[in-house]
Chain A
Amino acid sequence: MNPYSSLEERAFWSPAIAKRNMFDINDLWRPAFKIDGKSMIVTFGSCFAQHFSRALVARNFSWFDAEPAPMGLSEDDAKRFNYGIFSARTGNIYTTSLLLQWTEWAVGEKPVPDEVWEKDGRFYDPFRPRIEPNGFASREEVIESRLLCVEAFRRAITTADTFVFTLGLTESWWNEETGYEYPICPAAIDDSFGRPSDVFINQGYAQISASLRRAIGLMRHLRRGLRFLLTVSPVPLTATNSGNHVLVATMESKSRLRAVAGEVAGSVPRCDYFPSYEIINSPPFQGVFFEANRRNVNHNGVDFVMRTFFEGLSRARQADPAQPATPRPARAAQPAKSSADLVCEEEMLAAFGPVGGKS
């Protein structure tokens, strides 16, 4: 018997893609586990992860903010101080090794470092360099704020049912002496932050996979049964230090991340993959989901990604009548924001490019 003869339409390119308008392409994701209004969800990762938190909040899903803005802070200030962007004030966690680093601090596997950067009397957190727009007032303040964040990250793990993580980069910067990883090249933030011990590592498949698996394992020590939903950021690199053309470097990095995400999702129990990357980047969508700079994802792309996500959940619910209803939007729909509106340290690299402007 021909094994293809009993497959659904979605398994064939022609009916699933070629004969459809691109906006009618659907059924791209079938959730591996239930996510409903009762599921406590936390979101971390690269810039693109911010869309998930916004969409979940807008749809009245239970997005857990472990480090909420203090009472009395205005909305504008909350955003300026990076509250409510991710489930704790970690800033962007671009790599799986950074995720592992935060996790090791949160579970007590490794001590939280006391490294602080100083410039012109202001103090900066090397692991969250833009978390306070003008830096901190003192070294002690940086350390205290970092500890607060680590506590919140731990609380996010212990409270969550589903941990959404968006893999963003393979290129990474480490302090060779201490072994710590920074979210961005220190010298790219400020020349004075650069040290001879800073090393560049473009992580390979094995390292990315091992870090992700180790992070998942450590988190599950704290929170048994924690489920993971992995996505890959579709946003190209702002700049590469790999020596390759940035387009080639982007495709290589994203391919590695995509391969790791798929392999981990396919082999680790209670772990799933959601195809944001494919929706934005695959040829049938003809690049229409990018802004004019062909890097930032426009609001149509964000809408399409999130619609696919919620339709997937809805379809799963219909297939399983025992599942409770998916929460309905409870507030006026906010227009989706393009990735240009996101908080993204990586974009700082663009300022150092030959044209000296934003990408």
Chain B
Amino acid sequence: MRLAILGNSHTACLLHALNARPDLGRGLDITFYAAIGRNMNDFAVAEGCLVPQTELLRTSLQTTSGGADRIDPARHDAVLTIGLNYNLPPVSTRLSHAVQQAVLRNLVRSSVAWKLAGLLRQVSDIPVHVAHTPLRASDITTHNEHVVTQVLPYDRVLEETQAHWSELDVRGLRQPDHTRYRDVLTRRNYSRGSRGLRGAGLLHDSGDRSHMNEEFGADLLLSARAAMGLG
């Protein structure tokens, strides 16, 4: 299967996982298309492809894909996105249902992942899987217990957000259960030693709670393989 992985800085955990464990890529011909922050927002559709509209994005694509200056869906059998500002922070159940819905709608529809999925759907019907930004890694103590009390359960959030993704015939990926902590956070050990995109990857600051390490990347890839029927 020819798989395109589109993402921002969160792509790094997948890249480093594949470098460390080549078996994770078995049966897959993977091409990365990545740029940090919201730079992946700067695409437009032309001639059946997603074409970068800024030089910064073009350069980033060439660097991460090994030379491609555009994303041609015809060259891939499936797409997996990771991060791309599709974040799922805890949503309080004390908010009205209408506010909860508005939050979840906006988390999906204001994301770069949503925009890219929409552009892809203009030119292709290949399967698209969307992995949200890893849940924030945290240690809950009595001081911050409120962060995880009275919040929407993870399953409910996935269900609500999937309703939006389904409009684009896109499937949301579940963060593996064993990587999660207190339902809506990531276990702290998965953020320790996380690295960036460049080369072997620079270590993130030790206090970084949003980027995950290659161990997390490996677990997420296994989950993605299962979702794509690769086992």
Q: Do A132 and B96 have beta carbons less than 8 Å apart? A: yes
Q: Which of B33-41, B97-105, B181-189 is near enough to bind chain A?
A: B97-105
A357 is an interface residue with CB less than 8 A from chain B: no
A145 is an interface residue with CB less than 8 A from chain B: yes
Bound Cα distance A101, B92 (Å): 27
- Which A-chain residue is minimally distant from B109 (CB atoms)? A74
A141 is an interface residue with CB less than 8 A from chain B: yes
Q: Do B99 and A72 have beta carbons less than 8 Å apart? A: no
Q: Do A72 and B97 have beta carbons less than 8 Å apart? A: no
- B82-104 residues at the A interface, CB under 8 angstroms: 87, 89, 91-92, 94-99, 102-104
Q: Do B102 and A77 have beta carbons less than 8 Å apart? A: yes
Q: Which of A72, A141, A148 has the most CB of B within 10 A?
A: A72
A-B contact count (CB 8 A): 49
- A130-168 residues at the B interface, CB under 8 angstroms: 132-134, 136-137, 141, 144-145, 148
B54 is an interface residue with CB less than 8 A from chain A: no
- Which B-chain residue is minimally distant from A70 (CB atoms)? B103
Bound Cα distance A136, B95 (Å): 10
- A67-93 residues at the B interface, CB under 8 angstroms: 70-74, 77, 80-81
- A109-131 residues at the B interface, CB under 8 angstroms: none
Contacts of A132 in B (CB 8 A): 96, 98-99
Q: Do A141 and B96 have beta carbons less than 8 Å apart? A: yes
Bound Cα distance A133, B101 (Å): 14
Contacts of B97 in A (CB 8 A): 136-137, 141
Contacts of A134 in B (CB 8 A): 98
Contacts of A81 in B (CB 8 A): 96, 98-99, 102
Q: Do B98 and A70 have beta carbons less than 8 Å apart? A: no
B106 is an interface residue with CB less than 8 A from chain A: yes
Contacts of A70 in B (CB 8 A): 91-92, 95, 99, 103
| Interface size of B in residues (CB-CB distance below 8 Å) | 16
Q: Do B107 and A145 have beta carbons less than 8 Å apart? A: no
Q: Do B92 and A72 have beta carbons less than 8 Å apart? A: no
- A286-336 residues at the B interface, CB under 8 angstroms: none
Bound Cα distance A142, B110 (Å): 28
Contacts of B106 in A (CB 8 A): 72-74, 77
Contacts of A148 in B (CB 8 A): 94-95
Contacts of A73 in B (CB 8 A): 99, 102-103, 106
Q: How far is the CB of B98 from chain A (nearest CB, A)?
A: 6
- Which A-chain residue is minimally distant from B95 (CB atoms)? A70
Range for the number of chain A residues in contact with chain B: 10 to 19
Contacts of B95 in A (CB 8 A): 70, 145, 148
Q: How far is the CB of B161 from chain A (nearest CB, A)?
A: 11
Using known A-B contacts A74-B110, A77-B102, determine if residue A136 contacts B91 with beta carbons closer than 8 Å: no
Contacts of A137 in B (CB 8 A): 96-98
Q: Do A72 and B89 have beta carbons less than 8 Å apart? A: yes
Bound Cα distance A148, B99 (Å): 14
Bound Cα distance A132, B102 (Å): 12
Residue B96 contacts which of A71, A72, A74, A145 (CB distance < 8 angstroms)? A145
Bound Cα distance A71, B152 (Å): 14
Bound Cα distance A81, B99 (Å): 7
Contacts of B94 in A (CB 8 A): 144-145, 148
Q: Which of B91, B96, B102 has the most CB of A within 10 A?
A: B96
Bound Cα distance A136, B99 (Å): 10
Using known A-B contacts A144-B94, A148-B94, determine if residue A71 contacts B89 with beta carbons closer than 8 Å: yes
Q: Do B98 and A72 have beta carbons less than 8 Å apart? A: no
Q: Which of B87, B97, B98, B106 has the most CB of A within 10 A?
A: B98
- Which A-chain residue is minimally distant from B91 (CB atoms)? A70
Contact with A along B104-122 (1 / 0, CB 8 A): 1011001000000000000
Bound Cα distance A148, B87 (Å): 25
- B183-225 residues at the A interface, CB under 8 angstroms: none
Q: Which of A73, A77, A132 has the most CB of B within 10 A?
A: A73
Bound Cα distance A29, B131 (Å): 56
- A161-208 residues at the B interface, CB under 8 angstroms: none
Using known A-B contacts A137-B96, A148-B94, determine if residue A74 contacts B89 with beta carbons closer than 8 Å: no
Write 29 A-B pairs (CB below 8 A) sorted by A numbering.
A70-B91, A70-B92, A70-B95, A70-B99, A70-B103, A71-B103, A72-B89, A72-B91, A72-B103, A72-B104, A72-B106, A73-B102, A73-B103, A74-B110, A77-B99, A77-B102, A77-B103, A77-B106, A80-B102, A81-B102, A132-B98, A132-B99, A134-B98, A136-B96, A136-B98, A137-B98, A141-B97, A145-B96, A148-B94
Contacts A70-B99, A73-B99 aside, 15 further interface pairs with beta carbons under 8 A come to A70-B91, A70-B92, A70-B103, A72-B89, A72-B91, A72-B103, A72-B107, A74-B106, A74-B110, A77-B103, A81-B102, A132-B96, A137-B96, A141-B97, A145-B95
